[in-house]
């Protein structure tokens, strides 16, 4: 064990302690933001963040991510409306699956910052994905996995740049496709709010709001076989 540690410390591939600390800091301080300032985002910064997305891994190098930058005010307002509609549907469903107290709690949460954020983007799966068999024959959802890795890259790049980002998935993808002329073979999976913030949440907003208690890493890790004492 001590030998493994020594081997690692002397690996030519290991970054400096300061660089490693910066990566872990970013990972720990990244938050799914819902509160934004309306100050615009510098366009060069936006490009760097999108370039970070584009550095993501993708199954069979399919690069299935597509981004639509929303600069039109009416489109932004229509997207906000779509999310608001689905928010009501989600509240109703939470009322049915759980109870009305939980529904009321959900309705008190801020679930998006679409009208306030400096930059609004939509991330979508590309069309013609059926041709991509490599790594997807048994797991076709690997395209979503690749786009998600790209979005996580954006999130971390944005956090380091001092910008907040939020991934909103409370929308009907068919209605959003209609609004943005996304073809039926493609599929929007994220409304991304990006922008300056007054402050970053100290803990995930849903923890701060008392929506849910987070589980510990220890509950997530098993050895060699699924453990039935793990939570779900």
Q: Which two tokens stand for residue 121?
A: 């983007």
Least spacing, CB of residue 159 vs a copy of itself, in Å: 8
Query: Is residue 72 near a copy of itself by the rule CB under 8 A?
Result: yes
- Within positions 10 to 39, which residues make up the interface with a copy of itself, using CB under 8 A? 11-15, 18-20, 22-28, 30-32, 39
Residue 192 makes CB contacts below 8 A (sequence gap 6+) with 120, 121, 122, 123, 151, 154, 165, 166, 167, 168
Each residue 146-175 as x (binds a copy of itself by CB under 8 A) or -, in order, gives xxxx-xxx-xxx-xxxxxx--x-xxxxx--
Q: Do 147 and 174 touch, CB atoms closer than 8 A?
A: no
CB proximity list for 60: less than 8 A, separation 6 or greater: 132, 133, 134, 135, 136
Give the footprint of a copy of itself on residues 116-135 (CB under 8 A). 124, 126-129, 131, 133-135
Among 40, 81, 104, 110, binds a copy of itself (CB under 8 A): 40
- Site for a copy of itself, residues 207 to 226, rule: CB under 8 A: 207, 211-212, 214-215, 217, 220-226
Phi, psi of 115 (to 5 degrees): -80, -15
Task: Check residue 77 for interaction with a copy of itself (CB under 8 A).
Answer: no
Question: What is the radius of gyration, based on Cα positions, of the chain?
Answer: 20
Build a one-symbol-per-residue string for 100-119: x at contacts with a copy of itself by CB under 8 A, - elsewhere.
Answer: ------x-------------
Shortest spacing between CB 10 and a copy of itself, in angstroms? 9
- Residues of span 182-201 touching a copy of itself by CB under 8 A: 182-183, 185-186, 189-190, 196-197, 199-200
Query: CA–CA distance from 153 to each of 150, 171, 188 (Å)?
Result: 5, 23, 18
DSSP letter string, 106-173: HHHS----TTT-SEEEEEEE-S-GGG--TTTSS-TTHHHHHHHHHHHHHHHHHHHTT-EEEEE--S-H
**Of the candidates 84, 90, 115, 116, which one interacts with a copy of itself according to CB under 8 A?**
90
Pick from 43, 81, 99, 100 the residue near a copy of itself by CB under 8 A: 43
Half-sphere CA count of 66, side-chain side, radius 13 A: 15
Site for a copy of itself contains 89 (CB under 8 A): yes
Closest CB to a copy of itself among 60 and 115?
60
């Amino acid at each position: 064990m001590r030998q493994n540690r020594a081997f690692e410390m002397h690996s030519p591939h290991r970054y400096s302690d300061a660089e490693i600390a910066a990566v872990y800091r970013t990972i720990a301080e990244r938050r799914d933001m819902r509160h934004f300032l309306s100050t615009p985002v510098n366009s060069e910064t936006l490009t760097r963040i999108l370039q970070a997305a584009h550095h993501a891994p993708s199954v069979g190098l399919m690069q299935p991510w597509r981004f639509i930058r929303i600069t039109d005010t009416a489109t932004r307002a229509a997207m906000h409306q779509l999310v608001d509609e689905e928010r009501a549907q989600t509240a109703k469903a939470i009322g049915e699956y759980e109870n009305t107290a939980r529904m009321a709690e959900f309705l008190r949460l801020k679930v998006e910052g679409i009208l306030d954020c400096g930059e609004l983007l939509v991330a979508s799966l590309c069309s013609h994905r059926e041709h991509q068999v490599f790594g997807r024959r048994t797991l076709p959802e690997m395209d979503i996995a690749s786009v998600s890795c790209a979005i996580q890259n954006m999130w971390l790049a944005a956090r380091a740049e001092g910008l907040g980002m939020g991934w909103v998935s409370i929308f009907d993808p068919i209605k959003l496709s209609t609004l943005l002329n996304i073809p039926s073979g493609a599929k929007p999976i994220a409304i991304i709010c990006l922008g300056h913030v007054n402050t970053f949440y100290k803990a995930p907003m849903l923890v701060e709001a008392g929506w849910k208690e987070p589980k510990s890493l220890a509950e997530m890790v098993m050895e060699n076989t699924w453990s039935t004492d793990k939570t779900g």
